[in-house]
Chains A and B, each alone.
Chain A
Amino acid sequence: MRALTNTHEVTRLLAEWAKGNQQALEDLTPLVYRELRQLAASYLRKESPGHTLQPTALVHEAYLRLVDQKSPDWEGRSHFFGVAAHLMRQILVDHARKRQAGKRAALKVSLEEAVSFQPERSRDLVALDSGLRALEKLDPRKCKAVELRYFGGLSMDEIAQTLEVSPVTVRRDLRMAEAWLHHEMRNA
């Protein structure tokens, strides 16, 4: 039987983190990471559409599984996605960094943490991350829009709701941000 993560605990930590408690994030990361890993595996085993795993699907699934939606600490769905998307970004970037490091150190790693030998890809994600960091300083809303779109899998309308702007603005934000990030990643 799969160990179910304590949904109440996750919800509480998310709320804590949203309030600015950085320790909550540290506590949260391994819980979500484990969940994501298990979800990734189960998604692949399930007869689900699309061979390629979508972060979108993972975040939605994680939302359903991790968050006690009746909790008084909980401030709403869109808020969760804002948090979860950022967390997903962190987890994936960590994963990519570890893989890069693993490659450099030529470490023999366990199967569970197996580091794949795909330097190009991990570099891509790390480059995207540093692009996003730079973008955040220039234009935080655009950074958030990208995060919600690509790490959270939200639709334009959902992003618009979360950021409290019009969908047209989200489209413009994303177009500008994507072009800018593309350039940053190319030159990384």
Chain B
Amino acid sequence: MTPERWAQIEELFHRAAECGPEGRTLLLDGACSNDPELRREVETLLSCDASAGDYVQAAVRAEVDTVGFPLAGETISHYRILDGLGGGGMGLVYRAEDIKLGRQVALKFLPEESAKDPAALARFEREARAASALEHPNICPIYEFGEHEGQPFLVMQVLEGQTLRELLESRKPETSKSDSSAKSPGRKALELDQVLDLAIQIANGLDAAHQKGIVHRDIKPANIFVTSQGQAKILDFGLAKLAPPVTVIGVDSKGSQGDEGLQGVPHEIEQLPTPDPSLSRTGVAMGTAGYMSPEQARGEKLDARTDLFSFGLVLYEMATGHRAFEGDTGPELHTAILNQTPASARQLNPKVPAKLDEIIRQSLEKEREQRYQSAEELRTDLEVLKRDILPKPVSFRWWAAPAAVIALVLVAAVFWYGMRLPSIVPDLKLRQLTINSAQNRVTGGAISPDGKYLAYTDAKGIHINLVGTDQTQSVPQPDALKNDNVNWEIVSTAWFPDSLRFLANAHPANEDPNTWSSQTSSVWISSVRGEPLRKLRDHAMVWSVSPDGSSISFGTNKGTIGDREIWLMAPSGEQTRKLYEVGEKSAICCFYFFPDGKRVSYITTDESGDTLVGRDLAGGPIATLLPPSELKKIGDFSWLPDGRLIYSDQCNGGAMGVNTPCSFWITRINARSGGLSEKPRRLRSWSGSWMNVPSATSDGKHVAFLESSGRGAGFVADLDAGGTRLVNSRRFTLEEGGEDAIDDWTADSKTVIVIKNRGDHYGLYKQRLNSDTLEPIVTSAAGGLLKSSLVSPDGKWVIIVVWPITGGTTVQLMRVPITGGTPELVFAMRGGGPNFCARPPSNLCGVAEPSEDRKQMIITAYDPVKGRGRELGRFDLDLDYDPNVNNLLVDISPDGTRLATARGPKAPIQIHSLRDQQTQFIRAKDLDNMRGFQWAADGKGLFVHNRREILHVDLQGNIKRLWKCNSDRCSAMPSPDGRHLAIYDWNVTANMWMMENF
């Protein structure tokens, strides 16, 4: 090509590149009318113009990567190394594929020196395992330890995001990048809400570890990972002890190597963590040394408080953008850490609130005794601060970011996060009142009538918070209950009008809140004055205090389905009198006074369902305020002082998916004749959350409520010892918000079926055991909630049961080709129960549905193509069919000969032979609160999930506990070959919030 031609092409290329598509055609038409070759050249270049620079850059960068990451592409043990992820203070980190499990992991290589001290390595391994075993959301789990050519490595969860170090660096204002050896330049601090959010999470992780006696010893920004979803994860627990020792000025650093138990805070002499020695010697970076505590710098014994000092330094840096201590050399830094007090955080960043400044200052006390003594203390202060200054709408985190983790890029998920109903009340203010973690979620609470106090409950007991302040006091557990494991309940109308006293119910901790009754409950009174809890009555469940404070209503005398009587008593617990009573097969609950104190409302439950009724306290006719058809749409409600009703949608625990937008509504009900006298007004919607126990202040301006949200995660474990033991359990799907489940396996036991419900759409996927990607079967289908799915015995279809999203009980049984496609109706049902199939050679499938009168469940055989078949059996129900209750549990044995059934959560499991109609019972003592079961592949037992555990129960009634659940939504599904168990579990977070300005 001649230079002239080249110049001609270039000229035209630039001109054409500047035009829009139409102008471009015109330009080229004109310029190349006699020169088609020119046109071709320019068009070729134009077609390569987009992101050409990135393409060049990528080629160079990929090669540079392989220079720095020499192991990329190799296979080590069962890990195929994909590429380099970076390097921490200790060594290179690679992304790798676990060939066995088919998931992506991070491989972190430790320095070779660390292998030279096997005792230290073993100690590290033990400690890292212990930290990992905490399975804490703020601690990065380690899956395995290995060695490659003498170099130890550890296998960790792959996280998407960046280290806090990178996050801090990325906020650096533009400066010359070449000047990397200079002192850390002035950076921008993180925003206050982010500082607090991350700090609380880090403190949470530290707290969990410290409680088990595990000290990190090297807390620094590079050891804290911030995922794309803003979750903080502490990396490298225990690793600091492996670091090569560094000479400390004037101190003999010979350490005692006594045996350290993991329990109890270790008190051994420590070696200092340090970055790669070559770096510190050449002065390129001081890394870790900048985050040591004075006791570390002096080579003294370390304990949990050392981490708190280092954490204080991290906090300082997050809040100000500057390191508290800087120095070019180790000795300089040591001197600074030992002797200097850094400038106050507030001085560097005036936006730092005084309280945070104080928290940082206290964390950075040179003497341990002057510091925070535990991570919990520190966290509490941070939480209080956050609550005081950062009221924020709940829905925030659900809209913040799509799927987080590299391994699972769910393209289809994006739109799921996109739907949100508008807040109907624009000025509605939300304020978070409690900040409990998922480990100790708030279970309920009520605001005092004057709005001054919030009484709330969690696993640790009852607490009283002075609303709007950091002052929270815990009510001591009464001596009488010292040895009992109780769950406290504070109902929305628990406060007396004096705003000083309130009532609480004590329930046995092992009882499902859905089945709480007076039989096992007692009523207690407490006050904000700090008097001890006093028992008012046994075998009673309090409902409300009358508006004048003169009487307390409670339920008692449990019948078949619930309490049958409502009584009143004086605040002293005396002067009891029975108010109302219903029959043996009915129940009465939720008794509230109208503001005038003369009219009352309560719910009666009988064959027709739940009805909200009203009547005068003095007697007189009973008016139906809300019939069952209306009431079942309501999640929870309370009366506002002006007589209006505030209620939340029924969006959890029932037919609705948790990701159905859930709203608070206000309406007015005619207290005499019943029915709505005002159109319900939506206050606000949440997605991915559900709300309970609204309680109002007496001026009606504030409503406190409990907001809960869950995130699910799937696991796969191997079954051992005839299915009675779980080994090698590992995370399989990744944490996600939404109503998901691992529902079945394909016939080859190599793939699981995963369902996802998002709002009014559902998706159906399969995921191979050796893969971390979901393959869609149905990407997103509108208008229903996918309740269950299973693979047909011939392996060709996935059979799904779809519920209407808008309530109602017309349920569709549909089939989808396992290779993907559109769901087709097989038949419709009046409501749905369990759906099950045997395994080949049997081709039997069956589904349970209610009879027309809803008094029985009928099990019908079906074929995914031919439709309904013969009836397999009928079961009388104790209570009329209710879609929200598992009143019949059924599964078919893999060989298709036996049905296992249970009528309700506590009934014995019955094994019915379909051949000779014989029935055998499995009577086992601890089978309560069952939520479902699945036959084991060998037909010799069942995997049962209840609210707390997954159990293996053999046909003789022997129980083996396999898995402890985080939530009551945990479920298990064995693979057809009997080798694996897929488990889906939930983490639920719940806190009290307050609404105002509605």
Residues of A within 8 A of B (CB): 1-2, 36-37, 40-58, 60-61, 63-64, 92, 95-96, 99, 111-118, 121-122, 124-125, 127-128, 138-139, 146, 150-151, 172, 174-176, 178-183, 185-186
Contact A96 B287 (CB under 8 A): no
- Say whether, besides A116-B72, A116-B73, A118-B73, A45 and B67 are in contact (CB < 8 Å): no
Closest to A184 in B: B48
Contact B287 A121 (CB under 8 A): no
- Cα distance A128–B181 when bound, in Å? 33
Contact A50 B17 (CB under 8 A): no
Tell me whether B279 is interfacial, beta carbon within 8 Å: yes
Contact code string B904-916 (vs A, CB < 8 Å = 1, else 0): 0000000000000
Tell me whether B74 is interfacial, beta carbon within 8 Å: yes
Contact B10 A178 (CB under 8 A): no
Contact A138 B6 (CB under 8 A): yes
Return chain A residues, CB-CB under 8 Å to B163: 47
Return chain B residues, CB-CB under 8 Å to A178: 49, 52-53, 55-56
Tell me whether B255 is interfacial, beta carbon within 8 Å: no
Return chain B residues, CB-CB under 8 Å to A112: 70
Contact B87 A176 (CB under 8 A): no
- Cα distance A115–B81 when bound, in Å? 13
Question: A42's contact among B1, B60, B276, by CB below 8 Å, is which?
Answer: B276
CB distance from B333 to the nearest CB of A (A): 15
- Cα distance A154–B163 when bound, in Å? 27
Contact A46 B279 (CB under 8 A): yes
Return chain A residues, CB-CB under 8 Å to B85: 51
Contact B48 A180 (CB under 8 A): yes
Contact B63 A95 (CB under 8 A): yes
Return chain A residues, CB-CB under 8 Å to B57: 150
Contact A45 B91 (CB under 8 A): yes
16 residue pairs bridging A and B, Cβ less than 8 Å apart: A42-B284, A46-B287, A48-B285, A49-B169, A50-B166, A92-B63, A92-B64, A117-B73, A121-B63, A125-B59, A128-B56, A178-B56, A179-B46, A182-B55, A182-B56, A183-B45
- Cα distance A146–B169 when bound, in Å? 28
- Cα distance A114–B60 when bound, in Å? 18
Tell me whether B520 is interfacial, beta carbon within 8 Å: no
Question: A61's contact among B48, B64, B180, B287, by CB below 8 Å, is which?
Answer: B180
Question: B60's contact among A45, A151, A176, by CB below 8 Å, is which?
Answer: A151
Contact A117 B74 (CB under 8 A): yes
- Cα distance A146–B57 when bound, in Å? 10
- Cα distance A51–B85 when bound, in Å? 6
- Say whether, besides A42-B284, A47-B89, A185 and B66 are in contact (CB < 8 Å): no
CB distance from A125 to the nearest CB of B (A): 5
Contact B62 A36 (CB under 8 A): no
Contact B60 A64 (CB under 8 A): no
- Say whether, besides A55-B60, A61-B180, A116-B74, A95 and B66 are in contact (CB < 8 Å): yes
- Cα distance A37–B87 when bound, in Å? 14
CB distance from A171 to the nearest CB of B (A): 10
- Say whether, besides A44-B86, A60-B178, A172-B14, A55 and B48 are in contact (CB < 8 Å): no
Return chain B residues, CB-CB under 8 Å to A52: 61, 65, 84, 86
Closest to B9 in A: A176
Contact B66 A116 (CB under 8 A): yes
Q: Which among B58, B88, B165, B180 has the greatest number of chain A C-beta atoms within 10 A?
A: B180
Return chain B residues, CB-CB under 8 Å to A40: 64, 67-68
Contact B71 A175 (CB under 8 A): no
CB distance from A103 to the nearest CB of B (A): 9
Residues of B within 8 A of A (CB): 1, 3, 6, 10, 13-14, 17, 44-49, 52-53, 55-74, 84-92, 149, 162-163, 165-166, 169-170, 177-178, 180-181, 220-222, 275-276, 278-279, 281-282, 284-285, 287
- Cα distance A113–B1 when bound, in Å? 41
Closest to A139 in B: B6
- Cα distance A42–B86 when bound, in Å? 11
Instruction: Given contact pairs A44-B68, A53-B68, enumerate 14 new A-B contacts (beta carbons under 8 Å).
Output: A37-B67, A41-B87, A49-B166, A52-B65, A95-B67, A111-B71, A127-B59, A128-B59, A128-B60, A138-B1, A139-B3, A150-B60, A176-B13, A186-B48
Return chain A residues, CB-CB under 8 Å to B64: 40, 53-55, 58, 92
CB distance from B723 to the nearest CB of A (A): 40
Enumerate the 9 nearest inter-chain pairs by beta-carbon distance, A residue then B residue, closest first: A44-B87, A117-B73, A116-B73, A51-B86, A40-B68, A178-B52, A182-B52, A124-B59, A49-B169
- Say whether, besides A45-B276, A178-B56, A111 and B170 are in contact (CB < 8 Å): no
Return chain B residues, CB-CB under 8 Å to A125: 59-60, 62-63
CB distance from B70 to the nearest CB of A (A): 4
- Cα distance A27–B818 when bound, in Å? 63
Return chain B residues, CB-CB under 8 Å to A117: 73-74
Contact B66 A121 (CB under 8 A): yes
Return chain B residues, CB-CB under 8 Å to A92: 60, 63-64, 67
- Say whether, besides A125-B60, A179-B45, A111 and B70 are in contact (CB < 8 Å): yes
Closest to B81 in A: A116
CB distance from A187 to the nearest CB of B (A): 10
- Say whether, besides A46-B285, A49-B170, A114 and B67 are in contact (CB < 8 Å): no
- Cα distance A176–B68 when bound, in Å? 31
CB distance from B57 to the nearest CB of A (A): 6
Closest to A132 in B: B56
Return chain A residues, CB-CB under 8 Å to B275: 45-47
Question: B52's contact among A49, A50, A138, A179, by CB below 8 Å, is which?
Answer: A179
- Cα distance A63–B177 when bound, in Å? 13
Contact B66 A55 (CB under 8 A): no
Return chain B residues, CB-CB under 8 Å to A176: 10, 13-14, 45
- Say whether, besides A46-B284, A47-B221, A183-B48, A54 and B61 are in contact (CB < 8 Å): yes
Q: Which among B66, B149, B165 has the greatest number of chain A C-beta atoms within 10 A?
A: B66
Return chain B residues, CB-CB under 8 Å to A60: 177-178
Return chain A residues, CB-CB under 8 Å to B49: 175, 178-179, 182
- Cα distance A49–B187 when bound, in Å? 13
Return chain B residues, CB-CB under 8 Å to A61: 178, 180
- Cα distance A125–B46 when bound, in Å? 22
Contact B17 A175 (CB under 8 A): yes
Closest to B86 in A: A51
Return chain B residues, CB-CB under 8 Å to A124: 58-59, 62-63
- Cα distance A44–B68 when bound, in Å? 8
CB distance from B995 to the nearest CB of A (A): 42
Contact A45 B89 (CB under 8 A): yes
Return chain A residues, CB-CB under 8 Å to B87: 41, 43-46
Question: A174's contact among B48, B53, B61, B88, by CB below 8 Å, is which?
Answer: B53
Return chain A residues, CB-CB under 8 Å to B53: 174, 178
CB distance from B332 to the nearest CB of A (A): 18
- Cα distance A63–B176 when bound, in Å? 14
CB distance from B419 to the nearest CB of A (A): 34
Contact B67 A36 (CB under 8 A): yes
Question: A181's contact among B56, B61, B281, by CB below 8 Å, is which?
Answer: B56
Question: B59's contact among A41, A54, A121, A174, by CB below 8 Å, is which?
Answer: A121
CB distance from A64 to the nearest CB of B (A): 7
Contact A47 B61 (CB under 8 A): no
Closest to A150 in B: B60
Return chain A residues, CB-CB under 8 Å to B287: 46-47
CB distance from A97 to the nearest CB of B (A): 10
Return chain A residues, CB-CB under 8 Å to B166: 49-51
- Cα distance A125–B284 when bound, in Å? 30
- Cα distance A139–B7 when bound, in Å? 10
- Cα distance A177–B169 when bound, in Å? 33
- Cα distance A111–B278 when bound, in Å? 20
- Cα distance A114–B88 when bound, in Å? 21
